[in-house]
Amino acid sequence: IIYGALGCLAQTDMKRLIAFSSVAHMGFVMLGISTLTPLGINAAMFGMVAHGLITGMLFFIAGSVKERYHTLEIKRLSGMLIQMPRLGWILGFCAMASLGLPGLAGFWGEFPAIISSWNPAEVLVANGHEGLYRGLTIVAALGTVLAAAYLLWLYQRTSFGTPNPEFAGDGHGDGHGDGHSDIHDVGIYEWIAWTPLLIAIVVFGVYPQLMFKVMDPAITQLFGK
């Protein structure tokens, strides 16, 4: 979790930052599994689905940014909310989902994993590992703070401020050839590809039971309860 977060903070390329964020997210998955509790494994399974939705969207966005700006260097990107407001807002939404904002899918992969690490399985407690897992809880909580740091930093650098003079003369068309250059806002084909993912991020965030009620019977059977 910490390695992935620190790796994100060191990146200068948008796609590499998103890739390192996957390492941090998988840390929460492994933490949940390692607790050997139904809650932890539910969190791990939910986290993998949420990661696929959210990080998939972030990679979609990175591809769209690359297509328009022909670069993913964070220091060269700014003012996206001015040039491509819809793309900028979608990036912000996905960043919030990735850092685990309550009400979005990412929350249900991280928060239950942290809770389960505070109360791991009895067999782990009996073998003297309770202190270790209490420490891992603190580490995981710190990881959520670092996630907010690198994702909000990415969003602030790429979306706020004035556009880079290198691209400042470019307009924000509607993706149908009406823009002044390669830089245009979200097009119809992007909406078609992205809308199901965006809806799923919200639906699973607001109604996590849609997924938990599918997973929980198998997990309950796994634990023989």
In a domain, 50, yes or no: yes
Distance of CA 178 to the CA centre of its chain: 32
Angstrom distance (rounded) from CA 220 to CA 225: 5
Sign of the torsion angle spanned by Cα atoms 115, 116, 117, 119: positive
Distance of CA 35 to the CA centre of its chain: 23
Q: Crossing angle of helices 130-159/107-118, nearest 10°?
A: 160
Surface-to-core class of residue 188, CB atoms within 10 Å of its CB (0-12 exposed, 13-18 middle, 19+ buried):
exposed
Answer yes or no: is pLDDT of 203 > 60: yes
Please tell me the predicted confidence (pLDDT) of residue 177: 42
In a domain, 221, yes or no: no
The pLDDT tens digits for 18-74 are: 999 999 999 999 999 999 999 999 999 999 999 999 999 999 999 999 999 999 999
The pLDDT tens digits for 145-196 are: 999 999 999 999 999 988 888 886 555 555 444 444 578 899 999 999 999 9
In a domain, 224, yes or no: no
Per the DSSP assignment, residues forming a β-bridge with 43 are: none
In a domain, 194, yes or no: yes
Per the CB < 8 A criterion, the answer to whether 193 and 199 are in contact is no
The pLDDT tens digits for 97-126 are: 999 999 999 999 999 999 999 999 999 999
Name residue 92's amino acid: G
The percentage of the chain sitting over the pLDDT mark of 70, rounded to a whole number, equals 93
In a domain, 158, yes or no: yes
The pLDDT tens digits for 206-221 are: 999 999 999 989 998 8
In a domain, 150, yes or no: yes
| Direct distance between the N- and C-terminal alpha carbons of the chain, in angstroms, rounded to an integer | 31
Q: Which domain holds residue 193?
A: 2-214
In a domain, 220, yes or no: no
Please tell me the predicted confidence (pLDDT) of residue 167: 80
In a domain, 225, yes or no: no
Confidence of residue 91 (pLDDT cuts 50, 70, 90): very high
Number of domains making up the chain: 1
What's the token pair of residue 25?
Answer: 């997210």
Per the CB < 8 A criterion, the answer to whether 58 and 66 are in contact is no
